[in-house]
Amino acid sequence: MKRALKSMSVVKRLCLVLAIILLPNICAGCWDRVELEQLAYVTVVGIDRDGPDGVLVTFQCVIPRMLARGQSGGGGGAAPVKPYTNYSVKARNVSDAVRLFEIKQPHKALFKTSTVIIIGEDLARKGVIPSLDFFTRKPALRRSVWVMVAEGKAADILLKGDPSPEIIPANNIRTAFQRRQDVTLTSSVDFGQLLSKLERPGVDPFMPEIKLAPKLSGGTAGQGETSTQDQQKDVKEGEKQVLEIVDFGVLKLGKLVSFLDITESRGLLWLQGKTNSGTITVPARGASWASLLVSSKRVKITPVISQDGFLFNIDIRIEGYVSSVQNEAVDPTKPEDLGRLEEEGEKAILQDVMAAVKKSQEVRSDFLGLGEKIYETDPDLWKEIGEAWRDEWLPNVQVDISVNCKLKRTGLAAGPVQPIP
């Protein structure tokens, strides 16, 4: 009898152990499962100001079944059907907008597929933090999502922008950025970087600026800029326009204060030290020009603190190679010609950096992160001057900039191409 009871006790213990082992696997299965047909795949979110206290949120969603069919509506000469759609919702805040969006569709918004958040200019000038608060609490949203500021309304970027050559506009935004990255210095800003700068002392965030531009039509060489300006006047209501990633918008304490021009944007990127690619154009000889392609750079900013104020020693070292020379009389294989190009490159970089510093002081936004260098050097001093840094100290800082440009290679050609007489 005792043996039988002991045997039953062992069996009960084994069953209990098996239950403990298997129960988590059984319960972890599909408690939060949502069918694919019940999801709205949000790729881009545009947020605009609507009235004094409301927001207009535009969700751009992919339609998976249309992607599977290409862009046709099912064959038989049917008109093409877009594989995406836009929903605009007015609400008190982004959280309410998402709730109303899911009620009206009705599909559950899936933000794992989101690649870009675009903030309208008016809302950005009022402050980006309240609208982004929803996404900071959304675990499904990746921190690698790009954040941009629109020139004008974010809704216009999504509703009026032509997605070609990409099928999905979100991919076209990345394509536009990559095109710009190939020809000039630029840098993306993701959600994680923006949040990090908002919470760090002595630095203000910046975001790439995105805008609409008219499609270019045929024209004579050298008239591209004039043609674009003329076409801007001729844009008809409802006509699609191309998306352009231009320069940067800079914030001050979470609010947009200004857009940078191309020179100021390059100066910002030289000091950031993030991008190791891009082309700069410098005078070669006479009225000709040369293009230099940056391959790497190193930047060091050292604050010098005194009773008279703050001086920042900025040391920039650039390596690159000659991408193109317009004048055949300039031979990059000759030390004197190569040295002249290096000097012109240093002058161009110095001009860019000075423009960025001047802009930072003018709008009193520390998007260059100079205050952060003081905080890292002397945290106790920063406690004393931190609140007054942007308005009282930043406009009066001095900078000592040293630029060293070395061109390591001249391309495949040994010298300039010369015609045979």
Task: Map tokens 């960025």 to a residue.
Answer: 356
CATH number for position 380: 3.30.300.210
Residues 291 and 188 both lie in one domain: no
* Residue 228 maps to a domain: no
* Residues 266 and 371 placed together within one structural domain of the fold: yes
Asked if residue 408 and residue 288 are part of one domain, the reply reads: yes
Domain that holds residue 141: 37-72+79-214+234-259
Q: Is 88 exposed, middle or buried (0-12, 13-18, 19+ CB in 10 A)?
A: middle
- Model confidence over 282-308: pLDDT tens digits? 887 776 788 887 888 899 999 998 888
Residue 14: inside a domain: no
Same domain? 275 vs 377: yes
Is residue 297 located within the same domain as residue 194?
A: no
Mark whether 109 and 142 lie in a shared domain.
Answer: yes
Of 259, 293, 320, at which residue does a domain stop?
A: 259
Closest CA to 386 of 204, 219, 119: 204
Q: Are residues 179 and 277 in the same domain?
A: no
In which residue are the tokens 């290409």 written?
70
Instruction: With respect to residue 16, please indicate whether it lies within any of the assigned structural domains.
Output: no
- Reading the chain (421 residues) residue by residue, the pLDDT tens digits are 555 545 556 656 666 656 666 555 555 555 455 555 567 788 899 999 998 889 999 999 887 766 655 554 445 545 456 778 889 999 999 999 999 988 887 778 888 888 899 999 999 999 999 989 888 887 778 888 999 999 999 999 988 877 666 667 777 787 777 766 666 667 888 899 999 999 999 999 999 999 888 765 543 333 333 333 444 444 455 566 778 888 899 999 999 999 999 999 999 989 987 666 678 888 877 767 888 878 888 999 999 988 888 999 999 998 888 878 877 777 777 888 888 888 989 999 999 999 999 999 999 999 999 999 999 999 999 999 999 999 999 999 999 999 999 988 665 455 555 566 5
Q: How many domains does the chain have?
A: 2
In a domain, 343, yes or no: yes
Distances, alpha carbon 138 to alpha carbons 94, 111, 191, 260, in Å: 12, 9, 12, 31
Q: Are residues 239 and 267 in the same domain?
A: no
Which pLDDT value is given to residue 233?
47
59, 146: one domain: yes
Q: Same domain for 249 and 271? A: no
Whether 240 and 254 share a structural domain:
yes
Of 191, 225, 259, the one marking the end of a domain is 259
Which positions ≥6 away from 335 have C-beta within 8 Å?
A: none
3-state helix, strand, coil in the chain (%, to 5): 40, 30, 30
- 15 occurs within a structural domain: no
Q: Are 206 and 90 contained in the same domain? A: yes
DSSP, res 373? H
Whether residue 5 is contained in a domain is answered as no
Residue 328 and residue 65: Cα distance in Å, rounded? 56
pTM for the model: 0.80
Q: Tell me, yes or no, whether 58 lies in a domain.
A: yes
Q: Quick one: which of 254, 269, 258 has its CA closest to 136? A: 254
Number of Cβ atoms within 10 Å of the Cβ of 13: 10
d(CA 230, CA 217): 11
195 occurs within a structural domain: yes
